[in-house]
Amino acid sequence: MRLATLAATSLLVLPLAACTEPAPTPAPLARSLASVLPAPARVTPSGVRFELTEASGIAAEGDALPVAELLAATLRPATGFRLPVAATGDVALRLDTSIAGEAYRLDVGEDRVDLTAGTPAGLNNGVQTLRQLLPAAIDAGTVQQAAWIIPGGRIDDEPRYAYRGAMLDLARHFHTPDEVKRYIDQISRFKINYLHLHLADDQGWRIQIDSWPELTAVSGAPGTGVDGAGGGYLTKAAYRDLVTYAADRYITVIPEVDMPGHVNAAQVAYPELTCDGVAPRQRTDTAVGYSSLCAGKEITYRFAEDVIRELAAMTPGPYLHIGGDEARATPHADYVTFQKRVMPLARKYGKIPIGWQEIAAAEPEGAIVQYWNHTEPLTTNQRVIVSPASQAYLDMQYDRQTPAGGMNWAGTTEVDDAYDWNPGARLKTVPPELIFGVEAPLWSETLRDSADIEFLAFPRLVAIAELGWSPWSTHDWESFRQRIGAYGPQWTRLGVRFYESPKIPWGH
Ligand code: TNX
């Protein structure tokens, strides 16, 4: 019914000459309120519709202004409209402290759109929803002929979890700041609010540390990385620029330097960081679990403190990830000794430490534990980020046939495998109230460029984003696969590579 009305409207506005010429391609039809990814908490369609026009404007003031500017900037290229941001306008963004945290309310009426939230981050969540309610052509970089219809009704939305993360490994293969920004642009559309950057591992060191300059001079040089194909590193200025770019999109960066294992690159640069003082050879293979800092040497703690101090100073966010995984070359007692000294260093420099689940063995009071190894039970009374390798690791192959790229040590993960689990019930030994959120890590042993990143991340990243954002009551694979299928053309338009899973009804 609504579709028919829409089609009639677009005919009415056609120039007269069109009557004698072949029918033009119909204007793209409006989306539905039920198409949003991740699924909103409460949706009430009204049946009316709003049209963004040349005369539209965006109303905002105070702290809502930057979000309004972001919205205007995303809508201008395809619409060609001026969309001034001013005190009045038919699309109004308003801060209202009666709404908590990241929640927002979106009211789409016939004549106006009202987006209300308690914080700029909440408004931005509403803006991401609004973008998805417009026809897919809204993402074009040049002016498109379309009726910019937004379906009417109301959305009351809030996140299930405070932490909805994505991780990118810059160590196994360095990804340039532009590639990381491209990834930020895509993940921010799905209300991901943390980006965890894995900055050092056996094959490379990717962040400038002034007090240990050989780290990047040696282990960030060309020829480092898996197969020697991933050299490069972030200067402090480049890192700060990335942090700002992410923050402008309401994403907080969490830097990780992995210790006491995964340190071969540091030891190639500084042999004194090994127990015997002998430089190991540079590694470009994908083995894990062979390197370790020396818990009995004081220089180990000077190194850890210098790195943590410099990382903390260049990171405005509250968290520092200190790794701690797969330290198979570190005797257990040494591991505990090391972590008990190093975790408090994050605190000393004002940060909350996060560590992979192995740190649970070191009584990490006040730290956050990241669950990854689906074959090991986790017992902890600390907050937990859930990222089981068998469901949340974006670097697992979709199936054995998927083209080069990805690993399969944790099995293969089709889109429905990534979607069909409950982060609130995944860990039998951790009470649901300790679940801080979910994360989708992407390790880069097999990645080379943005196309590789995107092929493994999409659509699975969206499955993890929905597990983190949407209430469990909305969880529904059938609905998810339809919504993802309808989103496909948007990725195609943006030039974002994605896996065309046979399980998804692609809308193109
Ligand atoms: C395990 S999971 C690792 C990484 C690898 C990844 C490859 C975890 C905390 N460590 O070192 O890159 O598998 O999938």
Return the CATH number at 252: 3.20.20.80
Output helix, strand, coil percentages for the chain, rounded to the nearest 5. 35, 20, 45
425 and 453 both lie in a single domain: yes
370 and 395 both lie in a single domain: yes
Q: Looking at ligand 1, which residue's alpha carbon is closest to its atom 11?
A: 288
Contact status, residue 466 vs residue 419, Cβ threshold 8 Å: yes
200 and 305 both lie in a single domain: yes
Residue 487 counted as domain residue: no
Pocket test for ligand 1, best of 290, 326, 354, 357 (most atoms within 8 A of CB): 326
Q: Looking at ligand 1, which residue's alpha carbon is closest to its atom 9?
A: 325
97 CB neighbour count, 10 Å cutoff: 8
- CA–CA gap between residue 464 and residue 472 (Å, rounded): 13
129 and 196 both lie in a single domain: no
325 close to ligand 1 (CB < 6 Angstrom): yes
- CA–CA gap between residue 439 and residue 163 (Å, rounded): 8
What is the maximum alpha-carbon separation in the chain? 86
Given 125, 157, 189, which residue is the final one in a domain?
Answer: 157
| Structure-block tokens of residue 212 | 């240990």
356 close to ligand 1 (CB < 6 Angstrom): yes
Contact status, residue 174 vs residue 232, Cβ threshold 8 Å: yes
Q: How far is the CA of 490 from the centre of ligand 1 (A)?
A: 31
Which ranges of the chain have pLDDT less than 70? 1-30, 508
257 and 120 both lie in a single domain: no
Pocket test for ligand 1, best of 201, 257, 259, 288 (most atoms within 8 A of CB): 288
133 and 281 both lie in a single domain: no
Residue 230 counted as domain residue: yes
136 and 247 both lie in a single domain: no
Report the nearest atom of ligand 1 relative to the CA of 396.
14
Query: Which residues lie across from 448 on neighbouring strands?
Result: none
- CA–CA gap between residue 304 and residue 222 (Å, rounded): 25
178 and 48 both lie in a single domain: no
Predicted pLDDT of residue 507: 85
Contact status, residue 166 vs residue 440, Cβ threshold 8 Å: yes
Contact status, residue 301 vs residue 271, Cβ threshold 8 Å: no
Q: How far is the CA of 158 from the centre of ligand 1 (A)?
A: 31
Contact status, residue 230 vs residue 278, Cβ threshold 8 Å: no
372 and 348 both lie in a single domain: yes
Q: How far is the CA of 373 from the centre of ligand 1 (A)?
A: 9
CA distances from 483 to 44, 89, 421, 489 (A): 17, 31, 18, 11
Residue 93 belongs to a domain with what CATH number? 3.30.379.10
Strand ranges in 35-89 using DSSP code E only, listed in sequence order: 42-52, 58-59, 85-86
- CA–CA gap between residue 382 and residue 368 (Å, rounded): 6
DSSP string, 283-305: --S---S-----TT-HHHHHHHH
71 and 142 both lie in a single domain: yes
Range of the domain at 144: 42-157
290 and 315 both lie in a single domain: yes
Q: How far is the CA of 224 from the centre of ligand 1 (A)?
A: 18
Q: Looking at ligand 1, which residue's alpha carbon is closest to its atom 8?
A: 325
Given 115, 140, 157, which residue is the final one in a domain?
Answer: 157
Predicted pLDDT of residue 31: 82
- CA–CA gap between residue 478 and residue 459 (Å, rounded): 15
155 by DSSP, 3-state: which? Answer: strand
- CA–CA gap between residue 21 and residue 450 (Å, rounded): 43
Residue 7 counted as domain residue: no
Residue 9 counted as domain residue: no
Position 208: which residue type? Q
User: What spatial distance separates the first Cα and last Cα of the chain, rounded to whole Å?
Assistant: 23
Residue 99 counted as domain residue: yes
Predicted pLDDT of residue 401: 82
Contacts of 505 by beta carbon, 8 Å cutoff, 6+ apart: 481, 482, 485
Predicted pLDDT of residue 271: 98
Say what the pTM is.
0.94
- CA–CA gap between residue 438 and residue 422 (Å, rounded): 10
139 and 207 both lie in a single domain: no
Contact status, residue 413 vs residue 464, Cβ threshold 8 Å: no
Q: Looking at ligand 1, which residue's alpha carbon is closest to its atom 5?
A: 443
Report the nearest atom of ligand 1 relative to the CA of 323.
9
DSSP letter at 35 equals G
Predicted pLDDT of residue 17: 36
Report the nearest atom of ligand 1 relative to the CA of 373.
2
Residue 65 counted as domain residue: yes
Query: Which residues lie across from 437 on neighbouring strands?
Result: 163, 385
Report the nearest atom of ligand 1 relative to the CA of 395.
14
Residues forming the active site: 326
Minimal CA–CA distance to 323: which of 197, 177, 453? 197
Q: Give the number of domains in the chain.
A: 2
Position 117: which residue type? A
- CA–CA gap between residue 22 and residue 6 (Å, rounded): 19
Predicted pLDDT of residue 16: 36
Given 113, 139, 157, which residue is the final one in a domain?
Answer: 157
Contact status, residue 79 vs residue 143, Cβ threshold 8 Å: yes
Residue 20 counted as domain residue: no
Residue 32 counted as domain residue: no
